[in-house]
Structure 1
Amino acid sequence: MDNQFPSRKGLCFCSFRYVLALFMHSCNIIIIAQRMCLSLTMVAMVNSTNPHGSPNTSTEKRLDNTKNPVYNWSPDIQGIIFSSIFYGAFIIQIPVGYISGIYSIKKMIGFALFLSSLFSILIPLAAAVGETWIIACRVVQGITQGTVTTAQHEIWVKWAPPLERGRLTSMSLSGFLLGPFIVLLVTGIICESLGWPMVFYIFGACGCALCLLWCVLFYDDPKDHPCVSLHEKEYITSSLIHQGSSTRQSLPIKAMVKSLPLWAVSVCCFAYLWTYSMLIVYTPTLINFMLHVDIRENGLLSSLPYLFAWICGVIAGHTADFLWSRNMLSLTAIRKLFTAIGLLLPTVFSMCLLYLSSGFYSTIIFLILANASSSFCFGGVLINALDLAPRYYVFLKGVTTLIGMTGGMISSTVAGLFLNQDPESSWFKIFLLMSIINVISVIFYLIFAQAEIQDWAKEKQHTRL
């Protein structure tokens, strides 16, 4: 198999495209930090001693500690506040996927990142006014963060040579894995020393600073960037010739709906986010159930899987590109291999967690392995849509992410129902259902997945809606 790409002399880790990947990595850390920090600050924000239904604020408590105002929100209100950010992210996926190929990515991401950071800074004020206002802030944050997480995939359509797509994508997206680790470690310290409002001020200020850097550093097309060397521009441009122009044509909706390779990506995105969301939401609960540790130790143990997932995500992207560049496997075989590993190993380690872990260390090891191994999907299904249709990549990413988020929301709800019915045997049911979904998805993917540009996505095709 001969790669149709120019010499890999342009593959240099000091090249600007790697600087851009690390910058997006930092942006994604801030985005996920602004999203997740409320999970820990809520402990300090809520007055659990007052009866539900009292006024919004606990005046007596606020007088005792002005830097940590406390509110009397019932559990159902807290649940709405937590989930409101996902409603915003959910509704924006397909619209952003559609307009990303039309409008400037620099302006879209820059404006969205600024708004997310601004509303992060406003959350303490919104909380003081009332729970309705903080819910509104979180919904807007969800819309802006959904814009950033979806639109950023358009960057690699023009900036990533095919032989480097895996590593550049994994480097940038792995920020979503490192971010939770940092948040869980830092937020508690900030709350104790400076007060919980400072958490939102600090992460919001960091986002604003990154927004300014974004406006300076990023250009939509590498050909227009003054800091990119002529050699790097030529390497990127020549390596992308085979995929044709990225100019958006009318969306071939019928062809997309009939595309089995695209359905394979969608099904596995559903399974991946089902697994990811279930593990990310219920890891602290599982640790508490199995190890009975205090909340501070629980937070530390819950953060460890994210660190190892981040490491595995970066390794997966680099390994996938290495295998393809050395002609060891076809690109389709690589995508299938990494997807199968990323969906089947979490299933195996989750079952080991229930039946083979006999002590503290074995429980933590299997929990880390279950979370970390799912990151191998970074070299598989999570980038597969770019192989199928570079021209429509961000739109397809929006659609597949929407399908995946549906799986994530369902998995959290189903797990909660199981735990409410029978806490003792519920974990077996939760992991068994996850295993069935993952195995079926992998089988479907292994049969129908491809990694070549589809006929309906080629430039010569002029399919209408």
Structure 2
Amino acid sequence: MIYSGSESETDDNEHPLLHRKPLVKVEKAPVCCSSRYGLALLSCYGFFVAYALRVNLSVAMVDMLSNNDNATINSSSQICPAHGGSLPPLHNKTAKVYDWDSETQGWILGSFFYGYIFTQIPGGYLARKYGAKWFLGIGILGTAIFTLLTPLAADMGAGYLIALRVLEGIGEGVTFPAMHAMWSAWAPPLERSKLLTISYTGAQLGTVVSLPISGLICYHLDWTYVFYIFGAVGVCWFILWMLLVSNTPETHQRISVKEKEYITSSLKKELSSSSKHIPWKAILKSLPLWAIVVAHFSYNWTFYTLLTLLPTYMKNVLGFNIQQNGFLSALPYLGCWLLALMGGQLADYLRETLLIPTVKVRKCFSLIGMIGPAVFLVSAGYTGCNYVLAVSFLSISSALGGISASGFSINHLDIAPSYAGILLGITNTFATIPGMVGPVVARALTHSNTIEEWQTVFYISAAINVFGAVFFTIFGKGVVQDWAVPDLHSHGH
């Protein structure tokens, strides 16, 4: 198989398209009040909602469980005593609590991903064919509505709650592939890192806000309001999305002529004029795509394990109460959000101003964003009951992971912009498996919540992360592949 530019990628920054085709110089449209940055901010809000709806259960779960299952907490409290003093009684104790064992908790927390995995590839394909706006909008709206129904499902039983979380996953499964499909028509090549990191760091921001806010809601109201409040926020986003967003610059009613010309001209040699031909065989045989798959899978193993179980670790091992829990659980994702945003600016500066090849930027950012977290994650397991050091190492680990947002995470748009949504659907399908398996494996390994058990969990995550980083560094590419230009591919080139 031939990879365009695979032997000589030094000029992929000057010509981020097929390097044998020169790029016509187009005057850059202003950033301020632009439609493309407006889309980035509104999609950031959308991913804020998506992740708030996804992770709030992690905090609420701590308050949803009955106190009858205290054996685990008492044994772990002997290792790390309760920290920070006791809180006054909860303001509201009317919400029901449930007697779910550790295994049931793992299945509830992981069930979201059993629905999420099934709509990845269909979401990317249908968004490319029919437009991403409605698929992304309805996906998040559906998740918001199911979130509003969560207290009812929990009251009906763990099985009903698991089924509801699966439905939420089905709704959210289209979001990332649909957004990638939309950015393939909206993001000029040398602004991709900036625009996409603004957009997708809404996920970290949603985690940063929802974890402490969920803790406060549980304390001052009760856990049911966590789902009512965030569900309502999701419905509000959907209204704004439908009113303000268009699938392409050509169909946007408020975009300036200059910006429309800038976007369409910079992308005209990258995108296919036909939506019919999809080279499935070439896509599935593409080694650069599988490099992203492996990196995405590896990174998500650590990310999802911490995302779903960090509140439990904070309480049952480090001994933080529910109000402290939310704020401390959010710290790692605050750092991730900040470094992802700064990384996006730096990546495009390196590519556009210093003319560093895209492939080198993507690999460098992936290495730092995957090996760095592995080192600090393992280190966190050896901090014992040193609360400050443990939280610091976990925060640094997650923060460094944000750098990979400008690495493998957006590499789909570098190698195949016409099919970016489909490619993300493929990689995210594999990258969803850690969300399904990781929490279950982690809970199975931490029945007693000892520090030694959590060290094993951290070692497994770190090893997977390092493997993914090395694989992407060896096999990743940074230029549009031959098969990704349908007009050439269909004529046998």
| TM-score, shorter chain, exceeding 0.5 | yes
Q: 2:96 maps to which residue?
A: 70
Indicate the percent of aligned positions where both proteins have the same amino acid: 36
Are 2:283 and 1:256 aligned?
yes
Q: 1:36 maps to which residue?
A: 55
Are 2:184 and 1:165 aligned?
no
Q: Is the 8 A contact 2:69 2:99 kept in 1?
A: no
Q: Is the 8 A contact 1:68 1:196 kept in 2?
A: no
Distance 1:36 1:331 in 2: 33
Q: 2:124 maps to which residue?
A: 97
Query: SS at the partner of 2:33?
Result: coil
Q: 1:50 to 1:418 in 2, by over 3 A?
A: closer
Q: 2:150 maps to which residue?
A: 123
Distance 2:189 2:248 in 1: 16
Q: Per-residue CA shift, 1:318-347, capped at 9, x if unaligned? A: 111111111331011111111111111112
Shift of 1:71: 4.4
Q: 2:7 maps to which residue?
A: none
Shift of 1:384: 0.5
Distance 1:312 1:129 in 2: 42
Q: Is the 8 A contact 1:246 1:391 kept in 2?
A: no
Q: 1:198 to 1:280 in 2, by over 3 A?
A: closer
Q: Is the 8 A contact 2:215 2:326 kept in 1?
A: no
Q: Is the 8 A contact 2:197 2:406 kept in 1?
A: yes
Shift of 1:21: 0.7
Are 2:480 and 1:453 aligned?
yes
**What is the RMSD of the two structures over their aligned residues, measured on CA atoms?**
2.8
Q: 2:490 maps to which residue?
A: 462
Distance 2:55 2:452 in 1: 29
Letter in 1 for 2:38: V
Letter in 2 for 1:104: G
Q: 1:231 maps to which residue?
A: 258
**2:344 is matched with which residue: 283, 301, 317?**
317
Q: Is the 8 A contact 2:55 2:307 kept in 1?
A: no
Are 2:414 and 1:382 aligned?
no
Shift of 1:101: 1.2
Q: 1:8 to 1:354 in 2, by over 3 A?
A: farther
Are 2:323 and 1:296 aligned?
yes
**2:232 is matched with which residue: 172, 192, 205?**
205
Q: Is the 8 A contact 1:252 1:463 kept in 2?
A: no
Q: Per-residue CA shift, 1:175-202, capped at 9, x if unaligned? A: 1111122112112322343443332222
**1:345 is matched with which residue: 372, 382, 386?**
372
Q: 1:394 to 1:435 in 2, by over 3 A?
A: same
Query: SS at the partner of 1:450?
Result: coil
**1:371 is matched with which residue: 398, 404, 419?**
398
Distance 1:291 1:110 in 2: 39
Distance 2:370 2:236 in 1: 37
Letter in 2 for 1:70: K
Distance 1:203 1:319 in 2: 33
Q: Is the 8 A contact 1:332 1:451 kept in 2?
A: yes
Distance 1:93 1:369 in 2: 30
Query: SS at the partner of 1:251?
Result: coil
Query: SS at the partner of 2:129?
Result: coil
Higher relative contact order (CA 8 A, sep 6+): 2
Q: 1:297 to 1:44 in 2, by over 3 A?
A: closer
Structure 1 stretch 119-128 or stretch 391-400: which is displaced more?
119-128
Gaps of 5+ in 2: 1-10, 16-22, 71-90
Q: 1:62 maps to which residue?
A: none
Q: 2:241 maps to which residue?
A: 214
Tell me the number of residue pairs that the alignment of Structure 1 and Structure 2 aligns: 452
Q: 2:162 maps to which residue?
A: 135
Shift of 1:270: 1.2
Distance 1:425 1:90 in 2: 32
TM (normalized to structure 1)? 0.89
Structure 1 stretch 277-286 or stretch 254-263: which is displaced more?
277-286
